[in-house]
A = this chain, B = another copy of it.
Amino acid sequence: MWLPGHTPLHGRSIAVIGDGPLCETVRRDAAALGLHVLDAPDADLAIVPASGELADLGPEAFALVREEGRTTAHVGGAPGALYAWFQLLREAAGGPDTSGTASATTRFAPEHDLRMLDHWDNVAVHPVMGQVERGYSGGSIFFRDGALRADLSRVERYARLLASIGINRVAINNVNVHERETHLLSEGLASVERLAGIFRPWGIRLHLSVSFAAPITLGGLGSADPLDPDVQAWWTDAVAGVYAAIPDFGGFVVKADSEGQPGPFAYGRDHADGANLLARALRPHGGIVHWRAFVYNHRQDWRDRRTDRARAAYDHFAPLDGRFDDNVIVQVKYGPLDFQVREPVSPVIPAMRRTRVALELQVTQEYTGQQRHAVYLAPQWREILDFRPFGDDGPRLAELVRGGIAAVSNVGDDRFWTGHPLAQANLYAYGRLAWDSTLDPGAILDEWAALTFGSDGSASDDEAVRRGIRHLLDDSWRTYESYTAPLGVCFMVSPHGHYGPSVDGYEYSPWGTYHFADRDGIGVDRTVATGTGYAGQYPEPWASVYESLETVPDELLLFFHHVPYTHVLHSGSTVIQHIYDTHFAGVERVRDMVAEWDGLEGRTDAALHARVSERLAEQLRSAIEWRDQINTYFLRKSGIPDERGREIY
């Protein structure tokens, strides 16, 4: 991972002026990296409380002032000291020493107060989903076989890594709360307290996923009705118990009435009733509720073409705008379906201006190659964050999400933390974009590579490595898109596992994710005029843009429209020829990635190189499988041959 045990700052002096555990964390970290930690502000580097014209900095913000070879960080509060320290490390690793340049003051402040990582870790191993649901990096770093791990040293290192990218909230357990995990609120609380103690010195508050049915399953009540005073009292007591143990506890994450999880619908209540129930128990302690908007009918009848899962979150939540308490965050997945490689941005976010909404991303690559494929997701996230729901003159999505950003983590007990070593870059980029959504994905990648592949003068401290990684990853998200489901159609993956192609895998399922391919055409008609009406959930101009075949972007064509295979895209290609062309090209691009990496042999750690090589070989095999299954499926269905006569089976 990034931030290995060396830095070009080794041997320099630093002064950290301030009390409290976070400043102490910085001093300890600096000393561990070989800096001389002084009390005097005439050190090479200084971190000092902001004053004067910088006194308006928020507690997490800081300003770097460079003059005469010295850099001073003026920090708004203790967290600012932590983040300033990591900025100094970043800059030191980043190439030319900027601390010696002409005087300058640069301000740094996070865009969002809440920058969160969600873990889908189970305490007890789930018979189907395993220790970590949708985890592709081995076991949980927190739990093993039903209990807290004895050795938590990786959690300590993890907390430092997260602090270095500005993460300040972590939810430690799966949103699908099974029996054992329910008890984290009761006899399991000691484990939670212990983990909170590890995260605390790094400025990170800990959250728990809870079951809405806990008053029944844990409390022995007959109901979990949010309007039942006994239920309210039970939550009040439960929350008080948590805060007695963990005074800076962050709050709860809840997946309610979703994919089998319990929720307020059972009592004829709505999601505002449900969320506010928990919010009111948490409010006296300063806690918050992340209430997920991922609510839809997962027992849909595939025969019914009018029901549209994409509509569900908006239909459920938009009418509730304004009814959520202030300490409720409605957490919305970036797209209306489920973390697909390409979806339109969820219309729920612009629809709920009177609600604190959080954007939910997925660092773990559930639908994007499961850390067997090298897929750098920051370009996708930037597109999402840059989306302007109200058109060019309106705000970016990043400005609308007043509840911050959350994402599902991708780490585990794997030797390289993330299965695919290059998937570390996604975790890094997530934190950086959550802090500042205007950062350039390529620049983030350079930062990550510089911090990861060392500044210790080893062979890996090598411009060729950084350039190779850029080549390999820059376009990898679009490469993955090119050889998988085409033109925004989504869900052509193997059911359950979600890895590898199965064109019809979800086509006759109850999951609401269909493509409706027949011999003439493909796609989901989500227009207002003739389809499910989903396009109408957007404000203008997007409602009109998506509604019309003339204006819908090619990459989302099949998400919004059912068209003949002979439909001509804006690109000039037909749909069918586009499918063939992108799938052939995608495989060739993966071959280039393999060659690129082969060329770096000997320039990074041998074990890491071997692991990436092994993953790239699997990516190539899988990309070929995707190409051939998709192309064959559509050739058999459409009967239209490839214009260029390439091999389709």
Q: Is A303 an interface residue (CB 8 A)?
A: yes
| Beta-carbon contact of B639 and A518 below 8 Å | yes
Contact at B636–A518, with CB atoms within 8 Å? Answer: yes
CB distance from A492 to the nearest CB of B (A): 11
Partner of A508 from B629, B637, B638 at Cβ < 8 Å: B629
Report the separation of the CA atoms of residues A4 and B502 in the bound assembly, to the nearest whole angstrom: 50
A-B contact pairs, 26 of them (CB 8 A): A302-B649, A303-B628, A303-B632, A303-B649, A305-B649, A501-B508, A502-B504, A502-B508, A503-B504, A504-B504, A504-B633, A508-B625, A508-B628, A508-B632, A508-B633, A517-B636, A518-B635, A518-B636, A518-B637, A519-B519, A519-B636, A519-B638, A519-B639, A520-B639, A636-B637, A637-B637
**How many monomers of this chain does the complex have?**
2
Interfacial residues of chain A within 627-645, with CB under 8 A of chain B in the complex: 628-629, 632-633, 635-639
CB neighbours (8 Å) of A639 from chain B are: 518-520
Bound state CA distance, A635 and B632, in angstroms? Answer: 19
| In contact, B637 and A519 (Cβ under 8 angstroms) | yes
Within 8 Å CB of A632, what residues of B?
Answer: 303, 508
| Distance, CA A628 to CA B303, complexed state (A) | 8
Contact with B along A486-506 (1 / 0, CB 8 A): 000000000000000111100
Closest CB in chain B relative to A397 CB, distance in Å:
37
Which residues from B are CB-within-8-Å of A518? 635-637, 639
Q: How far is the CA of A649 from the CA of B520 in the complex (A)?
A: 15
A501 to B520, CA, bound (A): 24
**Which 10 A-B pairs give the minimum distances between C-beta atoms?**
A518-B636, A303-B649, A519-B519, A504-B504, A508-B629, A519-B639, A519-B637, A303-B628, A637-B637, A519-B636
Contact residues in B for A503 (Cβ distance below 8 Å): 504
Q: How far does the Cβ of A76 sit from chain B's closest Cβ, in whole Å?
A: 53
A275–B381 Cα distance when bound, in Å, is: 60
User: Which residues of A (302-327) have their CB < 8 Å from a CB of B?
Assistant: 302-303, 305
Cβ-closest chain B residue relative to A518: B636
Q: CB-CB < 8 A to A629: which residues of B? A: 508
Chain B residues whose C-beta falls within 8 Å of the C-beta of A519 in the assembled complex: 519, 636-639
Tell me the smallest distance from the CB of A334 to a CB of chain B, in Å.
30
Q: Which A residues from 607 to 649 make CB contacts under 8 A with B?
A: 625, 628-629, 632-633, 635-639, 649
In the assembled complex, the Cα of A635 lies from the Cα of B516 at a distance in Å of: 12
A502: B residues at CB distance < 8 A? 504, 508
When C-beta atoms are compared, the residue in chain B nearest to A624 turns out to be B303
What is the bound-complex CA distance between A639 and B521, given in angstroms?
A: 11
Hey, which chain B residues are within 8 Å of A501, CB to CB?
508
Instruction: Determine which residue in A305, A518, A628, A635 has the highest number of CB atoms from chain B within 10 A of its CB, and name it.
Output: A518
Residues in B neighbouring A303, C-beta threshold 8 A? 628, 632, 649
Cα A517 to Cα B503 with chains together (Å): 14
| Smallest CB separation, A306 vs chain B (Å) | 12
- Give chain A interface residues in 3-39, CB to chain B under 8 Å: none
Complex-state Cα separation, A503 to B628, whole angstroms: 18
B residues in contact with A625, CB < 8 Å: 508
Q: Residue on B with the closest CB to A303? A: B649
7 additional A-B pairs beyond A501-B508, A518-B637, A519-B519, beta carbons within 8 Å, are A503-B504, A504-B633, A508-B625, A518-B635, A519-B638, A520-B639, A637-B637
Chain B nearest CB from A187 CB (Å) reads 27
Interface centre among A517, A519, A520 (most CB of B within 10 A): A519
Determine how close the nearest CB of chain B comes to the CB of A279; give it in whole angstroms.
41
Residues 287-306 of A, flagged 1 when their CB comes within 8 A of B and 0 if not, give 00000000000000011010
Rounded to whole angstroms, the CA-CA distance of A632 and B501 in the bound complex is 21
Q: Which residues of B contact A508 (CB under 8 A)?
A: 501-502, 625, 628-629, 632-633
Can you name the residue of chain B whose Cβ is closest to the Cβ of A648? B303
Determine the residue in chain B with the shortest Cβ distance to A638. B519
On chain B, the residues within 8 Å of A649 by CB distance are 302-303, 305
On chain B, the residues within 8 Å of A628 by CB distance are 303, 508
> Per-position contact with B for A405-443: 1 when CB-CB < 8 Å, else 0?
000000000000000000000000000000000000000
Residue of B nearest to A508 (CB): B629
Give the one of A625, A635, A636 with max B CB within 10 A.
A636
Shortest beta-carbon distance from A553 to chain B in Å: 27
How far is it, in angstroms, between the C-alpha of A302 and the C-alpha of B638 when the chains are bound? 20
Docked complex Cα distance between A331 and B2 (Å): 59
- Please report the C-alpha to C-alpha distance between residue A305 and residue B303 in the assembled complex, in whole angstroms: 33
Measured between beta carbons, the chain B residues less than 8 angstroms from A302 are 649
Bound state CA distance, A517 and B633, in angstroms? 10
Give bound CA distance, A305 to B632, whole Å: 13
Interfacial residues of chain A within 360-390, with CB under 8 A of chain B in the complex: none
For the complex, give the distance between the alpha carbons of A518 and B638 in Å: 9
For residue A595, give the distance in angstroms from its CB to the closest CB of chain B: 24
CB distance from A371 to the nearest CB of B (A): 23
CB distance from A129 to the nearest CB of B (A): 13
